[in-house]
A and B are shown apart, each in its own frame.
Chain A
Amino acid sequence: MSNAPDLGFTPNEMMTIAASRALRNDDVCFVGIGAPSAACNVARLTHAPDITLIYESGTIGTAPDVLPLSIGDGELCETAVTTVAVPEMFRYWLQGGRISIGFLGAAQLDRFGNINTTVIGDYAHPKTRLPGGGGAPEIATSSKQVYITMVQSKRGMVEKIDFFTSFGHGEGGDHRKRLGIDTAGPTLLITDLAVWKPDLVTKEFTVVSLHPGVSREQVQATCGWTVRFAEALDATPAPTELELKTLRDLQARTKAAHQGTAKGKAA
């Protein structure tokens, strides 16, 4: 997109910042690694200083200075309010209903917020074996709400996902309720181009806000299903100076920290 105007920020930065704005100071957020982790920490470093961030390694109320490469980096534990064993994490804190937001990324996503991170192709004979669900299947059903963030592409946002790693709204409508799932499920999708919310009745993700400089055509061109747009479409406010500086500083610290360990590396 060489013709795109220079807005002073990238689509990825807009995505992370828009996602960070969705989080509240009193949220208890189960953080997925990657884009969700960046968004959650920008929120903590800007408007939500008291947000409780939880990583599945058992670190509760963590406040890392750099973004962890894995869900179990040492700094998560060093800065946490407490660190619990993995069974306790999943039984008491997640299953026990203590998590307000489960924040997930996705390799493949459909219009109803169902996520695949397991396989591309057939499960028994996969074309690509992806890492699998980890904590996500239960994060998706036990968190009070689920936020999803991902970069748009036709490969990623598809008509039909190859595997139901994490259940969103299934076939839409009241499918969750029919399976006995009483949590809200995916209520927000933030991509590099737009903010999406599920339709109240069908539960299909609908674009409610376009990021600065983004057209409807761009959103459709990078999505594998026919996109629905809200009647009253909002414009996502551009990142503020503080938001951009916070994100960039965080990423610079992170890059320096992760490469630093290569120095003097033994064979």
Chain B
Amino acid sequence: MVKFLPLKKAVAENLHDGDTVAFEGFTHLIPTAAAHEAIRQGFRDLTLIRMTPDLIYDQMIGMGMASKIVFSYLGNPGVGLLRRARDAIENGFPRAIEVEEHSHAGMANAYEAGAAGLPCAVFRGYRGAGLGAVNPNIKSVTCPFTGEVLAAVPAIRPDVTFIHAQKADRKGNVVVEGIIGIQKEAVLAAKRAVVTVEEVVDAFDDLHPNLTVLPSWTIAAISVVPGGSHPSYTHGYYERDNAAYLEWDEIAADRDRFQEWIRKNVLESSADDFAARVEHLRKAA
């Protein structure tokens, strides 16, 4: 049964040291508040999975929480590089991390295989690409019908997946709309899923019948955190804070400035602070 919990409790109950965890969101609906709560609780030795790690994994890697990262695009979208992740990979600071790198197609197929209960994903990919030589989890299979050689990657099955979504109803069903990314697959592939939402409504009576809805029984815990995806955005609620992404490039470039930013904006803050951060990004009604 899904539980409505304060974020602090939802994270404490579902994430543990050494877990394989996905905080998913494809530019849109990034679960920043959940990631910041994980930073406050100081988990260690996590394997972080995400197609587009961006700021929150830069922050978690910079705080030394990850022993391994699985990804397909290690950048600050539209801005450039992730400087804390680079420091870890290039200099082992604050600790060395293992890297497992895929393409988007590889990760998307692997999540889908996880959701589908398959051991691996099969697709036409990685042809001529260098990743096949440096990632032992990229292999191939031969189609038994046509003889075509196809790429194979193991299914992704996180211990826990965190996502952010627009809203839940009182029963704990969750609706995700806009750029839906890989969130449905990431939730269904995981042993446990935690969802932060902008709001809870009485019922979903007036929704389009084909909208992406995650039934309550696919979710372990829901936390209401308005603004919880900032500086990412929530379609229909507030816009992407592009200026914050540009600013992050400077903050993350310096180890001390990074620590100072984390202290002020994460360690000495709480999930309740997110609502104010998106106030200027809400569209005028």
Binding site for B on A (CB under 8 A): 33-34, 56-59, 68-74, 76-77, 83, 85-87, 89-91, 94-95, 118, 123-138, 140-142, 163-167, 170, 175-176, 179-181, 257-267
**Chain A interface mostly helix, strand, loop or mixed?**
loop
CA distance A89 to B185 in the complex (A): 13
- Judge whether B171 is part of the interface by a CB distance below 8 angstroms: no
Chain B residues closer than 8 Å to A267, beta-carbon distance? 264-265
Known: A136-B103, A137-B129. 18 other contacts (CB 8 A): A69-B79, A70-B242, A74-B233, A85-B185, A86-B26, A86-B104, A87-B109, A131-B81, A132-B73, A132-B101, A133-B72, A133-B129, A134-B72, A134-B73, A138-B124, A258-B242, A261-B243, A265-B280
Cβ–Cβ contact B180 & A258, under 8 A = no
In the complex, the answer to whether A167 meets B239 with C-beta atoms within 8 Å is no
Chain B residues closer than 8 Å to A179, beta-carbon distance: 127-128
- Point out the residues of chain A lying under 8 angstroms from B68, CB to CB: none
Contact B241 A131 (CB under 8 A): no
Shortest CB-to-CB span from A85 to chain B, Å, is: 5
Listed by A's residue number, 28 A-B pairs whose Cβ atoms lie within 8 Å are A57-B179, A57-B181, A69-B79, A69-B242, A72-B26, A72-B28, A86-B181, A89-B108, A124-B134, A126-B89, A132-B74, A133-B103, A134-B72, A134-B104, A135-B105, A136-B103, A141-B125, A141-B127, A141-B128, A142-B124, A165-B131, A167-B128, A170-B128, A179-B128, A180-B127, A180-B148, A261-B239, A264-B279
Give Cα distance in the complex from A262 to B245, angstroms.
Answer: 10
Q: Does B37 contact A (CB under 8 A)?
A: no
A residues in contact with B279, CB < 8 Å: 264, 266
* B181-A58 in contact (CB<8A): yes
The 5 closest A-B pairs by CB, nearest first: A72-B27, A167-B128, A131-B75, A70-B77, A262-B243
**Closest CB of chain B to A167's CB: distance in Å?**
3
B105's partner among A59, A138, A164 (CB-CB below 8 A) is: A138
Say whether, besides A132-B73, A258-B243, A261-B239, A176 and B128 are in contact (CB < 8 Å). Answer: yes
In the complex, which of the residues A138, A166, A181 has the most CB atoms of chain B within 10 Å of its own CB atom? Answer: A138
> Which of A57, A68, A91, A266 has the most chain B CB atoms inside 10 A of its CB?
A266
| A123–B86 CB distance below 8 A | no
B residues at A contact (CB < 8 Å) = 26-28, 51-52, 71-75, 77-82, 85-86, 89-90, 101, 103-105, 108-109, 111-112, 123-131, 134, 148-149, 178-182, 184-185, 212, 233, 235, 239-247, 264-265, 273, 276-277, 279-281
Instruction: List B contacts of A70 (CB < 8 A).
Output: 27, 77-78, 240, 242, 245
Contact between chains at B124 and A129 (CB < 8 Å): no
* Cross-chain contact A265 with B28 (CB below 8 angstroms): no
Kindly list chain B residues whose C-beta atoms are within 8 Å of the C-beta of A86. 26, 51, 104, 108, 181-182
Cβ-neighbour of A85 out of B81, B182, B244 (below 8 A): B182
A131–B243 Cα distance when bound, in Å, is 20
Contacting pair B77 A71 (CB below 8 A): yes
Q: Across the interface, do B239 and A74 meet the contact criterion of CB distance under 8 Å?
A: yes
| A138 contacts B103, C-beta separation under 8 Å | yes
Bound: A36/B108 CA distance, A: 23
CA distance A50 to B78 in the complex (A): 25
Q: How many A-B residue pairs have CB under 8 A?
A: 206
Chain B residue numbers with a CB within 8 Å of A71 are 27, 77-78
Q: Smallest distance from the beta carbon of A63 to chain B beta carbons, Å?
A: 16
Is the Cβ of B129 less than 8 Å from the Cβ of A164? yes
Bound-state CA distance A90–B179 (Å) is 14
Q: Name the B residues within 8 Å of A130 (CB-CB).
A: 75, 81
User: Is A165 within 8 A of B130, CB to CB?
Assistant: yes
Residues of B within 8 A of A141 (CB): 124-125, 127-128
B122 to nearest A CB, angstroms? 11
B239 partner residues in chain A, CB cutoff 8 A: 74, 261
With a cutoff of 8 Å between Cβ atoms, the chain B residues found around residue A142 in the complex are 124
Question: Are the CB atoms of A166 and B240 closer together than 8 Å?
Answer: no
Partner of B180, one of A83, A128, A167: A83
Question: Quick one: which of B81, B103, B181, B243 contacts A134, CB cutoff 8 A?
Answer: B103
Do residues A135 and B103 form an inter-chain contact, with CB atoms below 8 A? yes
Nearest chain B CB to A129 CB, angstrom units: 5
- The interface residues of chain B lying within 8 Å CB-to-CB of A175 are 128
Q: Which residues of B contact A56 (CB under 8 A)?
A: 104
For A68, the chain B residues whose CB sits under 8 A away are: 78
In the bound complex, residues from chain B placing their C-beta under 8 Å from that of A132 are 71-75, 101
A133 to B103, CA, bound (A): 6
Q: How far is the CB of A140 from chain B (nearest CB, A)?
A: 8
B109 and A90 form a contact (CB under 8 A): yes
With both beta carbons as reference points, the residue of chain B lying nearest to A131 in the complex is identified as B75
- B112: A residues at CB distance < 8 A: 87, 91
